[in-house]
Amino acid sequence: MKNSNFFLYLIIVVICSLNYSFAKGINIIPWPTKVEIGKGDFILNKNTLVCYNHRELNSLSEYLSKGLQLAIGSSYKLEQINRNAPLSKAINLIVNPSMSIGNKEGYELTVTEKQIIIKSIDQKGIFYGIQSLLQLLPITGSMKIPCVNIIDEPRFAWRGIMIDVSRHFYTLNQLRNVIDYMGIYKLNTLQLHLTDDHGWRLEIKKRPKLTTIGAWRVPRTGLWAKRDCPEKGEVASDGGFYTQNEMRELIKYANSRNVTILPEIDFPGHSLAAIASYSELSCSGDSQFVSPGCPIGGIRENILCAGKESTFAFVEDVLSEVAMLFPNKYVHIGGDEAFYKWWEKCDKCKARMRENGLNDAHALQSYFTKRVSDILKKHGKMLIGWDEIMKGGLPPNAAITSWTGIEPGIEASKKGHYVVMNPTRETYFDFRQGDPAIEPPAATYGKCILLLKDVYKFNPLPEGCDPKFILGGQGSIWTEEISTYPYLEYMLLPRALALSEVLWSSSQLKNWEGFTHRLERHLDYFLKNDIVYSRSHYDATIVPSKGSKGNLLIDVETQIKGLDVYYSFENFYPDHHCKKYIAGEHISIPKDAETFRVITYRNGKPVGRIISVSLDELQTRINQK
């Protein structure tokens, strides 16, 4: 009983602390490990100094000064000085290798009325302390920073975002924007899906055709996988690539935001762009084209031939330059969705299988993966791939990204392989964020939905895994349907913020209501700075079901507490004059009704979008479950 009472007391203390923090304007995302609220505020003015105790902190001092200038809308920048001892009336950045925080990304932030101190054992921790400090500022341009003491460190070492730049090409400036968001919200790994059937995006000097041919396709719009293939004589003008010098610049920029870039070169499947560049890489040697989004499946030969030694010479050429270019100790080799049809009828592949005692195509892919792993090892790198590379057996020291679910990650961790959790249903940001009736259309994933609250529920440490082999997790944005950068931002924000809290904050401190309360401040910041983001979490969630007599039942849920829901079956848009939904009750459907419309309100004003969906469509959704 004593233990139960103490646990209840602890919960009450945490909740009260969170509520008090909200009242004081502590809206930090991701939520820190420990927050103690003080009395009063530190007042910024033009005489405030930024002090740092090591020369290598000079760039972070400059970053902080510019950040404060932007945050408060000031015409002046704070003066920066190199000084060993902290000063009063100053913001002090202190690297102290002997302090008790053992994690390089951890930090302590202390704000009093007299001074501000950010301490860490490493520059990385100082950078994250700066992010928390900047988030303490209100977006109104106030010069007040509330007094607080924060001790903070991450839950997981790997906190990532994967962006597919093959299906749609994004410029360096656009990727820098993404890196900025990642730095602000303490995400630290950007995986770039650089190659696929639809474009090769990285310069490889030994194989120039990869970018002169493989980086370009004919222009198309419309739903993915339903587009027309290239016509005879049509010019391939849509695409782009990153030179190695450009990638070096991006890597350097990412490093300044505590973000490491993980390159993904997809082998052996998803290789149509490479085969279009060098047709001898395929089993048949037939010429191919870079797909503009027309059907591939078993129609186009998009897998590298595992029976030719020249294929592994190609892999060596590519990975030797990739290994030289990227500092990350891992190189992602894809390995997913390899279409074995071409291998199974290839004489060279069948000969390879006989020579090496390989029973099936899974074993042949395992052979391929092990040879790629050996190439990477020779160049000082480790292999990571999508979880399909487990089929047939993993090379020693190989890691996986578990995307088909959590089960492969659990299995790999038990076998002593490191795992990044990226399960589709919890972390695929290309899924719609709300009802299909109002979200952008998508052919690739149909009507799959990933609500903000479901991202927040994601558990990277599922029951049965070996925790010491779970590196962390990431969210993925496959861009078949995402053709513009504003669309990319819309799909990323605010779900990336929910993911950041999942991967950084202690699981015991996660609090959905607290997160959504703090999120309000960040959405206001996005609005003020003309950043595209989704407000889908304010919309109603329609929950159709089937009654005992096969009749349609409609319930409505909301992700955010305190919303009022109004609905209508009539042929006009609903508002607060219409029927109000009572939580937990099935909505009564009038005879001959055809369309259901619903909207959410907060404090007497509309906050969500109107959703209009036919009753036939709702019935179809039930049948498809």
204-225 per-position pLDDT tens digit: 999 999 999 999 999 999 889 8
- Enter the tokens of residue 293: 């989004």
In 3D, which of 422, 424, 372, 427 has the Cα closest to residue 398? Answer: 372
How far is the C-alpha of 47 from the C-alpha of 24, rounded, in Å? 25
Is residue 439 annotated as part of the catalytic site, yes or no?
Answer: no
Query: Given CA atoms 459, 464, 467, 469 in this order, what sign does their dihedral have?
Result: negative
Is residue 270 annotated as part of the catalytic site, yes or no?
Answer: yes
In 3D, which of 616, 222, 227, 224 has the Cα closest to residue 437? Answer: 616
Query: Does a cis peptide bond (omega within 30 degrees of 0) precede residue 97?
Result: no
Q: Residue 368 burial by CB count (10 A; 0-12/13-18/19+): exposed, middle or buried?
A: buried
How far is the C-alpha of 80 from the C-alpha of 48, rounded, in Å? 9
Q: According to the model, what pLDDT value does residue 24 have?
A: 64
Cβ contacts of residue 158 below 8 Å, gap of 6+? 188, 189, 420, 471, 472, 473, 474, 503
- Enter the tokens of residue 32: 């820190």
- Enter the tokens of residue 9: 């007391």
Query: In which residue are the tokens 């505020």 written?
Result: 41
- Mark out the alpha helices in 493-605 (DSSP H runs): 495-504, 512-528
Contact by Cβ (8 Å): 129, 111: no
The DSSP call for residue 571 is S
Q: What is the CATH number of domain 32-152?
A: 3.30.379.10
Please identify which of the residues 168, 198, 270, 522 carries the catalytic annotation.
Answer: 270
- Mark out the alpha helices in 207-308 (DSSP H runs): 209-212, 244-256, 272-277
Q: According to the model, what pLDDT value does residue 12 have?
A: 32
How far is the C-alpha of 137 from the C-alpha of 127, rounded, in Å? 16
Contact by Cβ (8 Å): 386, 380: no
Is residue 196 annotated as part of the catalytic site, yes or no?
Answer: yes
The continuous run of DSSP H or E covering 146 comes out as strand 144-152
pTM value?
Answer: 0.95
Q: Which CATH superfamily is domain 158-528 in?
A: Glycosidases (3.20.20.80)
- Enter the tokens of residue 184: 């602000």
Cβ contacts of residue 52 below 8 Å, gap of 6+? 58, 60, 61, 80, 81, 82, 83, 92, 93, 94
Query: Given CA atoms 447, 453, 454, 460 in this order, what sign does their dihedral have?
Result: positive
Please identify which of the residues 196, 439, 489, 539 carries the catalytic annotation.
Answer: 196
Q: According to the model, what pLDDT value does residue 282 have?
A: 98
Q: Per DSSP, which regions of 425-498 are E strands?
A: 470-477
How far is the C-alpha of 597 from the C-alpha of 617, rounded, in Å? 13
Please identify which of the residues 228, 337, 374, 575 carries the catalytic annotation.
Answer: 337
How far is the C-alpha of 315 from the C-alpha of 76, rounded, in Å? 52
- Enter the tokens of residue 597: 């419309």
Contact by Cβ (8 Å): 588, 567: no
What's the pLDDT tens digit per position in 525-583?
999 999 999 999 999 999 999 988 888 999 999 999 999 999 999 989 999 999 999 99
Phi, psi dihedral angles at 535 (to 5 degrees): -115, 25
The DSSP call for residue 48 is -
How far is the C-alpha of 204 from the C-alpha of 217, rounded, in Å? 18
- Mark out the alpha helices in 185-242 (DSSP H runs): 209-212
- Mark out the alpha helices in 36-88 (DSSP H runs): 58-72
Task: Give pLDDT < 50 ranges for the chain.
Answer: 1-21, 23
Contact by Cβ (8 Å): 4, 160: no
In 3D, which of 271, 261, 324 has the Cα closest to residue 300? Answer: 271
Cα distance from N-terminal residue to C-terminal residue, the chain: 44
The continuous run of DSSP H or E covering 109 comes out as strand 107-111
The continuous run of DSSP H or E covering 315 comes out as helix 309-325
Amino acid at 437: A
A 10 A CB-CB count for 439 gives: 20
